[in-house]
Amino acid sequence: MPAPIDLHEVAERELSERYRFPWRVKACMSTACLSAGAGPAFAAMEQKIEKEDLALEARLIPTGCMGLCSRGPLVRVLRRGLDEVMYQAVNAEVGIDIITDHIRDHKPVETNVLDHDIPFFTSQERVVLENGGVIDPNRIESYVGHRGYQALERVITRMAPEDVVETIRASGLRGRGGAGYPVGSKWALLAASAGETKYVVANGDEGDPGAYMDRTVMEDDPHRLLEGMAIAAYATGATHGYVYVRAEYPRAVERLDRAIRVARRKRLLGRNILDTDFSFQIDVRIGAGAFVCGEETALMASIEGRRGTPRLRPPYPTERGLWGEPTMINNVETLANVPTIMRRGADWYAAIGTEGNTGTKVFALAGDLVNTGLIEVPMGITLRHIVEDMGGGIPNGKSFKAAQTGGPSGGCISAEFLDTKVDYDSLRNLGSIMGSGGLVVMDEDVSMPEIAKFFMQFSMDESCGKCSPCRAGTVQLHQILERLTAGVGTRQDMKDLEHLCHVVRDTSLCGLGQTAPSPVLSTLHYFRSEYEDLIVSEEVAHA
């Protein structure tokens, strides 16, 4: 067996390397920037550095997401001892100018400078995304150089498993997969379960339309997830782990596979981690391409190689999970919080956010806003601050109409509630949910019944068909919404719509069916007049 990695030596080497170059150019190579042309821009900068003989002056580093995806490709230029300059819309031409004008001639390329002293950046509190735009996701040394794996080393060499569970409990961390279940309590349940083999599963299925928080963690900071899983395993007595990755995320699969291989070689995973008695293996499983496979019991069926359909709970996975053994499923973002909590302490984490809703939440901010992208904000920030300050408000002189949170399981929040705190409890009180972090802002032109129909179509298409309230109910709800939005719906349709929503919500087997009516119910609640305006009389409808 090779000797384990010496984390402190690697961290020191990385640090001295960091100060060897007067200039560091950090280029976002995450999926959003890549699709906006970051690849050719990176290649052009690389060639120009060579050509200008600047290889000893400037180091070009590929990084993960910097957040303001709508302005990408983004590049940060850091000069030793001086402030950084951030660039937006960096194509190959601009990339070349950055090397020649900024680095060689010390004159920033004014046309593409992005002011990073704006609320979009300054209002963020980065815990899960702290390495975004900072480290190179493909180099374990880069992660270790930013305190990576320090928490795992300390936990497995100096802490008792029950103290780790207690720290997570005291941090107040709640599951980021949607329901907000207290993480410490779930870990304690697994720790207390008896089984031959216990499993920890990271849920990276991320099926909500428009959401990409978990993809960003898996692609841009894969070792953070592995470290979080290993700490969870140590705390609960698990020896095997799976990352269940959405099939549409091939880059995440590739980066996780590579990270696992390297971590094994460095003795941070596998047998006798860092020469201790603790052993833990992780494998990647590719999702089956259905939204319902993110539901924990369907996910386990899918990992076992069966069709991904939910089953009734109890028994809960911590009692009877994978292959009948105790299993704990946590969302990717949940687990990505763990290394930082263990490193900085439960009190530090609990001081962020509000009581009962501690820490931060990552949102994929989308829709009718000036600034869209990924943000990580303290819990309890107001929706108004996110929309008006961080998002830069609604473009084209239009006004705000609604914010949709929680995707197909969530609801729409109207303008009168813009001062609501964004946390699990406040959003639930408004008939929506925090969900996993999709946040879509809509302007005055958007029709709310159309939005409800869009989400109902999604739930109808994604229903696994196992139980009839969801299988047939979502189809019928969609048909009614089609009639209403086509202008041929009647008052009876409205009554049926509402009644059926309650039936589907109350009688479906799993969370998909139980929450599928939420977008309809919340838009009916806050925007009823829009539905009323669509109604025609019975005579006209049957004419």
Ligand X SMILES: Cc1cc2nc3c(=O)[nH]c(=O)nc-3n(C[C@H](O)[C@H](O)[C@H](O)COP(=O)(O)O)c2cc1C
Using an 8 Å Cβ cutoff, are 441 and 412 in contact? Answer: no
Of 137-145, 230-238, 437-445, 458-466, which part binds ligand SF4 (CB under 6 A)?
A: 458-466
Q: Which of residues 297-356 bind ligand SF4 (CB under 6 A)?
A: 310
CA distance linking residue 326 with residue 192, whole number of Å: 10
How many chain residues bind ligand X (CB under 6 A)?
Answer: 23
Stretch that binds ligand X, among 51-59, 121-129, 289-297, 348-356 (CB under 6 A): 289-297
- Give CA 421 to chain center in angstroms: 20
Q: Interface with ligand SF4 by CB under 6 A: which range of 129-137, 238-246, 508-516, 519-527?
A: 508-516
**ω into residue 2 within 30 of 0, thus cis?**
no
Residue with tokens 């979009």, as numbered in its chain: 120
Positions in 505-524 near ligand X (CB under 6 A)? 510-512
Per-residue interface string for the shown chain with ligand SF4, residues 98-127, x marking contact by CB under 6 A: ------------------------------
If binding means CB under 6 A, how many residues of this protein chain bind ligand SF4?
14
> Is 471 among the residues that bind ligand SF4 (CB under 6 A)?
yes
- Check residue 323 and report its DSSP letter: G
Residues 6+ apart with CB under 8 A from 378: 125, 352, 353, 359, 360
DSSP lists the bridge partners of residue 282 as 241
In eight-state DSSP terms, residue 176 is T
> In the chain, count of helices (H) and strands (E)?
24, 16
* Binding site partner of 228, from ligand X, ligand SF4, none, Cβ cut-off 5-8 A by kind: none
Q: Using the rule CB under 6 A, which residue among 142, 216, 318, 463 binds ligand SF4?
A: 463
Residues 6+ apart with CB under 8 A from 327: 190, 198, 199, 200, 201, 300, 317, 318, 321
Site map (CB under 6 A) of ligand X, residues 428-467, x = contact: --------x-------------------------------
* Partner whose binding site includes residue 181, from ligand SF4, ligand X, none (CB under 5 to 8 Å by kind): ligand X
If the CB atoms of residues 173 and 442 are measured against ligand X, the closer one turns out to be 173
Q: Which tokens go with 511? A: 């969370």
- The two beta strands, 353-354 and 23-28, are unpaired
Asked whether position 467 contacts ligand SF4 by CB under 6 A, the answer is: yes
DSSP 291: G
Q: Report the partner that residue 326 touches, choosing among ligand X, ligand SF4, none (CB closer than 5 to 8 A by kind).
A: none
317 close to 328: Cβ distance less than 8 angstroms: yes
Identify the three-state secondary structure at position 282. Answer: strand
In the complex with ligand SF4, the residue whose CB is nearer, 85 or 293, is 293
Q: Which residues bind ligand SF4 (CB under 6 A)?
A: 292, 310, 463-467, 470-471, 508-510, 512-513
Give contact residues for ligand X (rule: CB under 6 A).
175-179, 181, 203, 205-207, 291-292, 294-296, 329-331, 334, 436, 510-512
